[in-house]
């Protein structure tokens, strides 16, 4: 049963306690208790969204579903933010801080192989091609959880000492309609540029990500850096074409590329201080030539760079350029290096993490663990650059499947529906505990 503000005030007075001591606990008790009534709804929403996935900046159906739900809860809703994003404001009955909660909506160009009764049969345009689409990273769970959190908190609107901004973000995995060139922003970065954290100004932001690497309902947390910065690496090695039987008459960009790839391994192993945090440089594609006995003019390579912290990111980028360019020249070739830093390091504000850890423990029944550094990347990082943020992981793999579960981004990736309730409780309680404990 929901307790009124007057009732809570009387309880506080009778106990000789301030509002922030007893009433904060009362409000959080209520949202935690009420979360269970929304579990079936959240599961149904997730199945529906999973069956109808949409790529970055094409989340029209998902956005419409979210916007309709938020309007029905009486919120002020803005659509088409950052292309297809949805933002809603829940104004509490008392003045106070503004908490933002974020969920990403987009899926991936992956052919689903789960065999689920609600498996995706959708395909969409992706970078000029028609591709199968799947929620292979669990964003369907994120959306369903936050929709349930919105309904949960809306039921206690008059008791909230502050406001809650719900951010449903497109294109966390990147845009599907063009190749990102570093000049045009997308996803969280575009929403920040368009003022999503303003009017009213956000004081703190919370978000979560499901993971198959942890058991169902277990929460992973970490203060400070938690997910890596990500850079796209593109290399063009220019040689001079000649017959494969007469390599001395040209410049072989394939041999130069092989030496460049070997040299790049020393950027991490010999040129980067790995004591504070790891770094990764990976070449994922290499294309050159079209016949076995012709040395081509050009080889093109692409890869990814993962680091922690802006200073290390720029150091590694500079070392890559130097290694590639000098190695190419040593063979007589020339190399052009393009690096697009498209995700920053996701950093949890340490004091905020420590402050909210008891809430995460309570919401999960004490099932929390300190997360290791994760070399995956997240554009939640751009929100957390602007305001204090806390981003945590939610396990979605039944214990009996641990060690055998397909990873995120796999065509066989699965979400255990029993994890959703923990996500609903965690985001709801983080909000109420933060609002009621703030001066």
- Residue 194's contacts (CB-CB under 8 Å, 6 or more residues apart) are 81, 82
Tokens representing 294 are 């012709």
C-alpha gyration radius of the chain? 24
Cα 123 from Cα 126, distance rounded (Å): 9
* Residue from 59, 172, 203, 349 carrying the catalytic annotation: 172
Give burial (CB, 10 Å; 0-12/13-18/19+) of 261: middle
DSSP 8-state code for residue 377: -
Q: How far apart are the first and last CA of the chain?
A: 27
Give burial (CB, 10 Å; 0-12/13-18/19+) of 130: exposed
DSSP 8-state code for residue 277: S
Give burial (CB, 10 Å; 0-12/13-18/19+) of 273: exposed
Cα 211 from Cα 415, distance rounded (Å): 8
DSSP 8-state code for residue 270: T
Give burial (CB, 10 Å; 0-12/13-18/19+) of 280: middle
Residue whose entry in the numeric block shows the structure tokens 């159906």: 61
Closest residue by Cα to residue 56 from 200, 174, 209, 148: 174
Tokens representing 329 are 């020249």
The CA–CA distances, whole Å, from 309 to 208, 231, 276, 306, 376 equal 21, 12, 10, 10, 14
- Check if 158 is active-site: no
* Residue from 104, 106, 140, 379 carrying the catalytic annotation: 106
Contact 233, 307 (CB under 8 A): no
Residue whose entry in the numeric block shows the structure tokens 């659509």: 79
Cα 330 from Cα 321, distance rounded (Å): 14
Angle of the 139-154 helix axis to the 39-51 helix axis, nearest 10: 140
Tokens representing 405 are 């579960």
- Check if 417 is active-site: no
Give burial (CB, 10 Å; 0-12/13-18/19+) of 439: exposed
Catalytic residues: 106, 172
């Amino acid at each position: 049963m929901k307790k009124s503000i007057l009732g809570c005030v009387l309880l506080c007075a009778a106990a000789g306690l301030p509002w922030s001591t007893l009433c904060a606990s009362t409000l959080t008790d209520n949202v935690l208790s009420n979360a269970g009534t929304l579990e079936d709804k959240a599961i149904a929403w997730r199945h529906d969204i999973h069956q109808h996935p949409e790529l970055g900046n094409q989340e029209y159906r998902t956005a419409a579903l979210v916007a309709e739900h938020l309007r029905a809860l009486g919120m002020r809703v803005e659509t088409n933010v950052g292309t297809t994003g949805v933002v809603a404001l829940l104004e509490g009955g008392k003045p106070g801080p503004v908490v933002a909660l974020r969920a990403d909506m987009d899926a991936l160009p992956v052919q689903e192989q789960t065999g689920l009764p609600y498996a995706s049969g959708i395909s969409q345009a992706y970078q000029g091609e028609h591709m199968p689409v799947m929620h292979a990273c669990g964003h369907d769970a994120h959306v369903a959880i936050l929709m349930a959190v919105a309904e949960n908190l809306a039921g206690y609107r008059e008791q909230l000492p502050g406001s809650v901004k719900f951010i449903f973000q497109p294109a966390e995995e990147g845009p599907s309609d063009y190749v990102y060139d570093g000049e045009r922003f997308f996803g969280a970065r575009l929403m920040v540029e368009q003022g999503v954290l303003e009017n009213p100004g956000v004081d703190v932001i919370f978000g979560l990500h499901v993971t198959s690497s942890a058991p169902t309902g277990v929460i992973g947390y970490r203060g400070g850096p938690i997910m890596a910065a990500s850079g796209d690496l593109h290399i063009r090695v220019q040689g001079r074409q000649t017959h494969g039987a007469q390599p001395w008459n040209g410049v072989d960009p394939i041999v130069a590329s092989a030496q460049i790839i070997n040299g790049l391994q020393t950027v991490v192993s010999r040129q980067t201080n790995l004591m504070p945090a790891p770094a990764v440089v990976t070449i994922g594609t290499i294309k050159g030539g079209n016949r076995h006995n012709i040395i081509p003019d050009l080889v093109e390579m692409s890869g990814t760079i993962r680091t922690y912290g802006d200073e290390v990111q720029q150091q590694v980028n500079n070392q890559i350029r130097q290694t590639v360019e000098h190695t190419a020249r040593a063979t007589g070739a020339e190399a052009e290096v393009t690096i697009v830093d498209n995700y920053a390091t996701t950093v949890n504000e340490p004091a905020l993490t420590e402050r909210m850890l008891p809430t995460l423990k309570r919401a999960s029944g004490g099932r929390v663990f300190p997360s290791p550094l994760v070399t995956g990347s997240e554009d939640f990082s751009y929100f957390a650059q602007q305001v204090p943020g806390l981003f945590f992981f939610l396990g979605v793999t039944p214990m009996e499947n641990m060690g055998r579960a397909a990873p995120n981004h796999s065509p066989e990736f699965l979400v255990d529906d029993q994890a959703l309730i923990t996500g609903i409780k965690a985001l709801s309680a983080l909000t109420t505990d933060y609002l009621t404990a703030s001066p």
